[in-house]
């Protein structure tokens, strides 16, 4: 036994030192890409379209341009990914940029994606009732007036999600005296949409491309209403930890953004309703210039 231990101990020490060297190198040269398990079709983690989500395609393009790194996915809910990046783990992710998130992480200097903004969504089979309750006469609708003047109507929101800075600002400080339901369970996006169709909430804020995915293209079940003062489109950025590692990754990513954004935009179109595609292309070119991707 003593003979075997005498041989084994040095081997263990050597293997441990080699493992640490390799591990340190891998950790320094590895990027974990945050994949939200609760945000389809931003990421699609199962089913026939697995791996073909909006941000899945952005990651494919980024990784193709970053061969010096090893890449792996970190799959968790949106709030968990944000918490991990804030804790300075070696993870980056695509997301909307908000002041709160900027205080916790570094973002790419320019947008890597361009997406249509959320709309106010109402179940189509209760649209007449919505007209009668709110006096809405088609056209745009004010989110703040909806919340403040119709507190009896229940708004469904997804806890932790950003709806873009403009809508996030309108939602701040609202809810104490209003019937706002904030869903924080698994797959909140799908759950809120089904709650809307079942009449358990009266309206939600949602993207057309999310509704198209969840309802498998049956957009007629939901009526989307544009919101007063809200932009038609919002930018998506890459966020990394607010430390030297995160800064070095962002510096490496920034020069790649324009090509990645252009190559990814055509695939984003796959998730848009057909009636949105023409305006999407025009807005993309107006925002970022150059020829159509």
Written as one string, the DSSP assignment of 211-261 is HHHHTTT-GGGEEEE-BTT--SEEEEEEEEESSHHHHHHHHHHGGGHHHHH
Give residue-wise pLDDT tens across range 66-110. Answer: 999 999 999 999 999 999 999 999 999 999 999 999 999 999 999
Whole-angstrom distance, CA of residue 147 vs CA of residue 205: 12
Q: At residue 131, what are phi and psi to the nearest 5 degrees?
A: -55, -50
- Mean pLDDT computed over 1-22: 38
Handedness of CA 222, 225, 226, 228 (dihedral sign): negative
Q: Are 219 and 124 in contact (CB under 8 A)?
A: no
Looking at the chain, which runs of residues are DSSP E strands?
30-36, 70-76, 91-95, 105-107, 113-116, 119-123, 155-158, 180-183, 203-206, 222-225, 233-241
Give residue-wise pLDDT tens across range 91-101. Answer: 999 999 999 99
Q: How far is CA 53 from CA 39, 67, 250, in A?
A: 10, 22, 22
Whole-angstrom distance, CA of residue 150 vs CA of residue 109: 40
pLDDT above 60 (res 15): no
- Closest alpha carbon to 96 in 235, 225, 288, 248: 235
Q: How far is CA 88 from CA 70, 96, 114, in A?
A: 18, 19, 26
The percent helix, strand, coil of the chain (3-state, each to 5) is 45, 20, 35
Q: Are 179 and 239 in contact (CB under 8 A)?
A: no
- Any residues with CB less than 8 A from the CB of 99 and at least 6 apart, and which? 165
Whole-angstrom distance, CA of residue 144 vs CA of residue 174: 9
Mean pLDDT score across all residues of the chain: 86
Residue 269 is inside which H or E element, if any? helix 257-269
| Neighbouring C-beta atoms of residue 12, cutoff 10 Å | 11
pLDDT at 281: 94
- Mean pLDDT computed over 103-125: 95
pLDDT above 60 (res 190): yes
Pairing of strands 203-206, 119-123: antiparallel
pLDDT above 70 covers a percentage of the chain that reads 86
Paired residues of 36 in beta bridges: 76
pLDDT at 19: 31
Q: Give 181's pLDDT tier (boundaries 50, 70, 90).
A: confident
């Amino acid at each position: 036994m003593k003979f075997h231990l005498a041989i084994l101990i040095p081997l263990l020490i050597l293997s441990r030192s080699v493992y640490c060297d390799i591990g340190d190198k891998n950790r320094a040269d590895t990027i974990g890409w945050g994949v939200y398990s609760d945000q389809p079709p931003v990421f699609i983690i199962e089913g026939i379209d697995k791996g073909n989500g909006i941000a899945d395609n952005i990651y494919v393009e980024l990784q193709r341009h970053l061969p010096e790194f090893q890449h792996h996915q970190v799959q968790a809910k949106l709030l968990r990914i944000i918490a991990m990046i804030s804790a300075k783990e070696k993870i980056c992710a695509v997301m909307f940029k908000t002041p709160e998130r900027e205080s916790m992480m570094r973002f790419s200097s320019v947008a890597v994606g361009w997406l249509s903004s959320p709309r106010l969504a109402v179940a189509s089979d209760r649209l007449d009732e919505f007209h009668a309750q709110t006096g809405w006469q088609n056209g745009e609708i004010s989110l703040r007036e909806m919340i403040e003047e119709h507190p009896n109507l229940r708004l469904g929101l997804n806890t932790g999600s950003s709806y873009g800075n403009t809508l996030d600002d309108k939602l701040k400080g609202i809810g104490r005296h209003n019937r706002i339901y904030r869903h924080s369970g698994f797959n909140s996006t799908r759950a809120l949409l089904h709650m809307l169709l079942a009449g358990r909430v009266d309206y939600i804020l949602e993207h057309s491309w999310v509704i198209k995915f969840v309802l498998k293209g049956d957009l007629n079940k939901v009526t989307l209403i544009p919101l007063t003062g809200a932009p038609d489109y919002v930018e998506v950025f890459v966020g990394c930890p607010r430390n030297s590692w995160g800064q070095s990754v962002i510096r490496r990513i920034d020069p790649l953004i324009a090509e990645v954004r252009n190559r990814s935009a055509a695939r984003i179109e796959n998730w848009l309703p057909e009636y949105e595609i023409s305006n999407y292309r025009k807005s993309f070119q107006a925002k970022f210039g150059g020829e159509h991707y």
